[in-house]
């Protein structure tokens, strides 16, 4: 089965490169809706359909990998992924005499792109093993296919934290289900050094320990939040602001609030206003519709499966889908929805005809990859 998963991954990755290659003929003008493309990506001298996988957040992770947190507000991005990119970059030669005060050495891009794809492939293997615990083989296979086909799954192959975070999340849950709580706690710590949402694995861990009645494993919870705590300590020492990763968020133009909680009904009302006041033929309207649907549809499906899902899975999925909205926007939710992957086997189990959904997913993925590669905001 692992050979089939690997072949499916290769086919998916080739399809994404084809989508990226075709994008220039569909969107000739590069959107450049993010900074540093010339200094971080074009410097690689690779074809656009390759360096485009470092667009948007990717340039920030690559700059952090080379320079650390020198750039103002780069503290919004957690450290574990760029640290791994930096470590792995040493296997690639550096450009002699490159002015690294201006440019980012291409070795960091090579490192980031390869690592992201390795972590995603590893995630697929572990996800399959996790599904084998509770589901039939056919459900596990279809779940892998649906995860690959999901419209924003291309972020797993980009220079983003998505694949690393998925790997740490799936592996930690797998270890929890196997009763290996210490190893799971260490992985949760690493996940919390990758994204703040890694902390949401702690309730899942706690529920599963209580369910197993092996209460001595509660002690390992002291390790789980260490990734975030150590990053906060670093920010306090270096910048005198332990919450710099939060206060930096609004700078990146996602209309997030960092000092107050905005409830879901308020955010829904904001989006209704957007639909009524925005040109329906504009990219802004298209993005708003995507964000709205990729938030409310998964949440609705989650409510439907409340009694069928394992409660720890259900709670983790609920938290990771709803907490981003408390910042006052659904921005990036098409990407964050990827972390609702625990829903997939339950959806697959209920679907009678899967092919139409896979076709719709693939068509939307083609559109979104085209926009992303050509420098237009997606999520």
Helical H runs in the chain? Answer: 2-26, 48-51, 57-67, 80-88, 106-134, 137-149, 162-177, 181-192, 201-212, 226-239, 244-247, 264-277, 283-304, 311-322, 333-336, 344-350, 355-373
Contact 79, 162 (CB under 8 A): no
- Per-residue pLDDT of the chain (379 residues), as tens digits, is 889 999 999 999 999 999 999 998 999 878 777 889 999 999 999 999 999 999 999 999 999 999 999 988 999 999 999 999 999 999 999 999 999 999 999 999 999 999 999 999 999 999 999 999 999 999 999 999 999 999 999 999 999 999 999 999 999 999 999 999 999 999 999 999 999 999 999 999 999 999 999 999 999 999 999 999 999 999 999 999 999 998 887 776 555 665 678 889 999 999 999 999 999 999 999 999 999 999 999 999 999 999 999 999 999 999 999 999 888 899 999 999 999 999 999 999 999 899 999 999 999 999 999 999 999 999 8
Of the candidates 220, 203, 157, the residue with the CA atom closest to the CA atom of residue 368? 157
Q: Which of 208, 71, 75, 197 is nearest to 133 (CA)?
A: 208
Res 257: pLDDT? 61
The sign of the dihedral angle between the CA atoms of 239, 241, 246, 247 is negative
69, 86, 64, 68: which is closest to 244 by C-alpha?
69
Separation of CA 187 from chain center:
16
> Comparing C-alpha atoms, which of 296, 305, 311 is closest to residue 347?
305
pTM (global) more than 0.85? yes
Look-up: residue for tokens 């590893």?
A: 122
pLDDT score of 34: 85
Taking the C-alpha atoms of residue 158 and residue 181, their distance in angstroms, rounded to an integer, is 31
DSSP-derived 3-state class of residue 27: coil
Rounded Cα distance between 200 and 214, Å, is 21
Distance in angstroms (rounded) separating the CA atoms of residues 4 and 28: 36
Rg (CA), the chain: 20
Other Cβ atoms within 10 Å of 232 Cβ, number: 17
Cα–Cα dist 312/314, whole Å: 5
Q: How far apart are CA 269 and CA 247, in angstroms?
A: 25
Q: What is the pLDDT of residue 256?
A: 60
- Dist. CA 199–CA 192, nearest whole Å: 6
Q: Which of 163, 152, 162 is nearest to 368 (CA)?
A: 152
What are 44's two structure tokens?
Answer: 């690689």
Nearest to 143 by CA among 131, 134, 155: 131
DSSP annotation of 252 reads G
Sequential DSSP letters for 179-221: T-HHHHHHHHHHHHTT-GGGGGHHHHHHHHHHHHT-GGGGGGG
- Rounded to whole angstroms, the Cα distance separating 225 from 239 reads 21
Per-residue CA distances from 38 to 79, 99, 104, 345 (Å): 23, 13, 10, 42
Residue recorded with tokens 């076709």: 359
Angle, in degrees to the nearest 10, between helices 137-149 and 2-26: 20
């Amino acid at each position: 089965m692992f050979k089939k998963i690997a072949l499916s991954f290769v086919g998916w990755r080739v399809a994404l490169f084809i989508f990226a290659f075709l994008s220039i003929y569909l969107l000739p003008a590069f959107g450049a809706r993010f900074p540093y493309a010339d200094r971080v990506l074009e410097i690689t001298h690779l074809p656009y359909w390759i360096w485009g996988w470092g667009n948007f957040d990717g340039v920030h992770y690559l700059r952090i990998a080379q320079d650390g947190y020198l750039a103002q507000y780069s503290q919004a991005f957690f450290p574990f992924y760029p640290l791994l990119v930096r470590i792995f970059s040493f296997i690639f030669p550096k450009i002699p005499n490159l002015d690294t005060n201006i440019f980012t050495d291409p070795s960091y891009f090579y490192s980031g792109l390869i690592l992201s794809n390795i972590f995603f492939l590893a995630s697929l293997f572990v996800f399959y093993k996790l599904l084998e615990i509770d589901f039939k083989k056919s459900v596990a296979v279809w779940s892998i296919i649906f995860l690959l086909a999901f419209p924003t799954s291309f972020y797993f192959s980009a220079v983003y934290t998505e694949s690393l975070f998925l790997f740490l999340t799936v592996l930690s849950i797998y270890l929890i289900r196997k009763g290996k709580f210490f190893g799971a706690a260490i992985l949760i710590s690493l996940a919390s050094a990758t994204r703040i949402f890694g902390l949401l694995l702690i309730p899942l861990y706690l529920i599963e320990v209580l369910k197993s009645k092996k209460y001595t494993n509660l002690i390992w919870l002291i390790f789980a939040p260490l990734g975030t705590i150590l990053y906060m300590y670093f920010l306090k020492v270096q910048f005198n602001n332990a919450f710099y990763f939060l206060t930096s968020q609004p700078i990146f133009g996602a209309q997030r609030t960092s000092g107050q909680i905005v409830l879901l009904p308020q955010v829904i009302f904001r989006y209704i206003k957007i639909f009524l006041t925005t040109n329906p033929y504009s990219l802004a309207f298209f993005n708003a519709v995507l964000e709205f649907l990729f938030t409310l549809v998964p949440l609705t499906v989650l409510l439907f499966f409340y009694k069928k899902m394992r409660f720890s899975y259900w709670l983790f999925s609920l938290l990771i889908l709803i907490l981003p909205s408390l910042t006052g926007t659904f921005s990036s939710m098409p990407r964050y929805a990827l972390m609702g992957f625990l829903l997939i086997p339950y959806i697959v189990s209920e679907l009678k005809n899967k092919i139409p959904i896979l076709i719709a997913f693939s068509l939307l993925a083609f559109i979104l990859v085209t926009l992303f590669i050509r420098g237009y905001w997606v999520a």
